[in-house]
Structure 1
């Protein structure tokens, strides 16, 4: 066995090491991570829920985590990407994993991997589950990073799988239409276990794969549904009906995610009992940064990671449902390989002025490209170009009156820059104020 430890063995040293370990940031396939999992003897005995989907994965994981915590379970939750600290990706008992826990996990994986070159995400996925095993959690919630079928998370055997939505994103890896993408996401389904889909137009490929492998497919609008009420929302399935409070996360679209979560909790009630009261508590206390997150008043400052058209339409809906007396100023930056025109098209009717900059990432779109996309959709809106996202935000603050609002959106990197600017923790424990 050959093992090469990083020059410094603190968390920063390990992260720099694993980022450089594999020549590609993304390499689809399960062979490498499965081989190392076997060498580690990593066979979790606790129930695992896998969450995939184009949008809504983070919200679904957070709501499920919150409900099971309300029920008294020790919950492990693995999500990505992070905003400010890598530790945000791994929560145990609702608390971010400490540096020492992650370092110990990275060391164990490095010793076991031999010559196998893992990607950053593969290394991190194994470390997350290794940490949860060590912490003896009662249940783990694992968010898929990309797709589903060939994602590192999929080497673990779930007791329930959720696909929140299927839309166009990451098409270089997943395919050019919803049918191709749906098939990839359906790869997290398993024979004989609940396979929940929250997309109101589930691709035929997803349904066909579930039937082919004998998964227990549960579709929103068919096996379960929701109905908004004056005092909350009503969840219905053939066996249960609950009147529940609106989730603490803003947006009507969150009811799709919440319905999937309640359906999962119901499906798993024999192995993870939870009551309607636990559901109520969990939905009311859930917190998740970067999803229409209000973090300042007068003027309002809202952070949203919307980075594809599907998410941008949800953002546009939220902006329309929460009007302000004054103007809406955008601080906007995206990655070049995303559908920038599609995102701008969705949000442009709700924006009065744009402050744009290249995000601090190698894949960031240039300011000229961003400006061209904005002007194509909103030719009459003022557009200002800035050296970086933080400068764009500061200028927007200077321009905004107390009745205005600033919406920061376009990517996780865009939101993370402003979180650092505002000294906001990336942890969901610190809710918007």
Structure 2
């Protein structure tokens, strides 16, 4: 009989090798094991999919519902530093012991069903939430929607935040193809919210074909406001004089209004007061989403890794005001549209610090340098140069170099893969604890 791992770390190492593919889309295997585990929820469930904005929308929902006194489970992925970040109950990350217990339960139930790392861990966290006596569950959908493991759950409300080009090898190379995949999280007769101001026709058509209750931004809900406050307007509910979300960035009111539409759709089951909404938006936190750290030079952490997110990052950088020089710490996966990301940001960055990342599918720093050159960005690294491009073996070393060279009025934007931002955050954490 196989001896099961005793620690969370050992479980995660094992799960990396249990399935022949890292990504193997489809719900049949997950549904089989879910049924064996008896996973079910007695409380409202909200799923949140989309190309960008999922994490912010989930964080706002969690913060508002916690302020309203509800017991909330939040599942997000990927994590930045610790795996436990993926499973939060009442605002706190799940313990190693709780996760290990659920991993053992999934292993016992799966029999001869092979599960990917993501499928296995998703089932474990769903089972944890199902046993936690929750009032509300928020589930961030991973890659796509229709065939993502999270979609094994029939949500009471499903949100698609935005639709843009990403993961083309799995989802297709047009917004119409991707929109159909995202719309797969909608359910017949249930609220289907779309926060994208220009939704693909495929999303609308699928929602209508299955008889979902489609809420469209600009038609069923919207926002208005000035520099001091903003207002939400829904089908039958208004929220006035709201403070701006503490999450910074150009798209956060779109995300916030989609979250409030979901809460409006659930208001008979999860009533939330005006002050609880205000407090939740003001107190929400989410590392790595246009996160501006205190101190000088300004440091911005942003997991923008596709052209749509990079365009938003560019707009947010423009809104920050003047900085003499912008330094970039950039690392990415090779399956991403690196040229598209560079196109959005090349005119905002003076000094590029490119980094390798510790994954086989990561783009090498040298390949990023070649992509910059193809985009017309070339520079030497001589002292005093107005523009430079350098390569580094780790995000920590790239960031350390940028910190050593940047003036106090400059800014450093750390962006790209989650691993880029996580590497810099881990380096900061190590320095603080040293």
Q: How does 1:66-81 map to 2 (within 5 A)?
A: 66-81=63-78
Q: Tell me the alpha carbon deviations over residues 12-67 of structure 1, each in whole angstroms, 9 at most, x when there is no partner.
A: 11111112111111100000110001111112212110000000000000000001
Higher mean displacement: 367-376 or 81-90: 367-376
Contact 2:47 2:185 in 1 (8 A): yes
What runs of 5+ residues in structure 1 fail to find an aligned partner?
426-433
Q: Is 1:144 aligned with 2:141? A: yes
Does residue 394 of the first structure (1) align with residue 383 of the second (2)? Answer: no
Aligned to 2:206: 209
> Which has the larger displacement, 188-197 or 14-23?
14-23
Task: Tell me how far 1:260 sits from its aligned partner.
Answer: 0.1
Aligned to 2:173: 176
CA contact (8 A) 1:5 1:110 kept: no
Q: Secondary structure at 2:423's aligned position in 1? A: helix
Q: What is residue 326 of structure 1 aligned with on the other side? A: 324
For normalisation by structure 1, the TM-score amounts to 0.95
Alpha-carbon distance in structure 1 between the residues aligned to 2:54 and 2:73: 15
Are residues 147 and 5 of structure 1, via their aligned partners in 2, closer, same or farther at CA, if it must alter by over 3 Å?
farther
Report the equivalent of 2:333.
335
Q: Which stretch of structure 1 is more off in the superposition, 141-150 or 354-363? A: 354-363
For 1:42 and 1:377, the matched residues in 2 are separated by 53
Are 1:419 and 2:425 an aligned pair? Answer: yes
Shift of the alpha carbon at 1:377?
Answer: 4.1
| Structure 2 portions without partners, runs of 5+ | 380-386
Q: Give 1:256's aligned residue.
A: 254
C-alpha displacement of 1:251: 0.9
User: Is 1:367 matched up with 2:373?
Assistant: no
The structural deviation recorded for 1:132 is 1.0
**3-state DSSP of counterpart to 2:131:** helix
The two structures have a TM-score, normalised by structure 2, of 0.95
Match of 1:234 among 231, 235, 238: 231
Contact conserved, 2:394 with 2:423, CA < 8 A, in 1? Answer: no
Please tell me whether the aligned partners of residues 357 and 389 of structure 1 are also in contact (alpha carbons under 8 angstroms): yes
Match among 3, 7, 11 for residue 14 of structure 1: 11
Matches within 5 A, 1:76-115: 76-115=73-112
Aligned mate of 1:48, from 41, 45, 49: 45
- Partner residue in 1 for 2:412: 406
Deviation string 1:255-274 (CA, Å, 9 cap, x unpaired) is 11001001111110001111
Choose which of 123, 145, 158 in structure 1 pairs with 2:155. 158
Equivalent position SS for 2:17: helix
* CA deviation vs aligned residue, 1:184-216 (integer Å, no higher than 9, x gap): 110000011100001111111100110111000
Residue aligning to 1:430: none
SS in 2 for 1:21: coil
Q: How far is 1:307 from its partner?
A: 0.1
Task: Provide the residue aligned with 1:348 in structure 2.
Answer: 346
Deviation at 1:168, TM superposition (A): 0.4
Which deviates the most, 380-389 or 100-109? 380-389
The number of equivalent residue pairs is: 422
Q: Quick one: distance in 1 between partners of 2:92 and 2:140?
A: 17
**Distance in 2, Cα, partners of 1:363 & 1:216:** 39
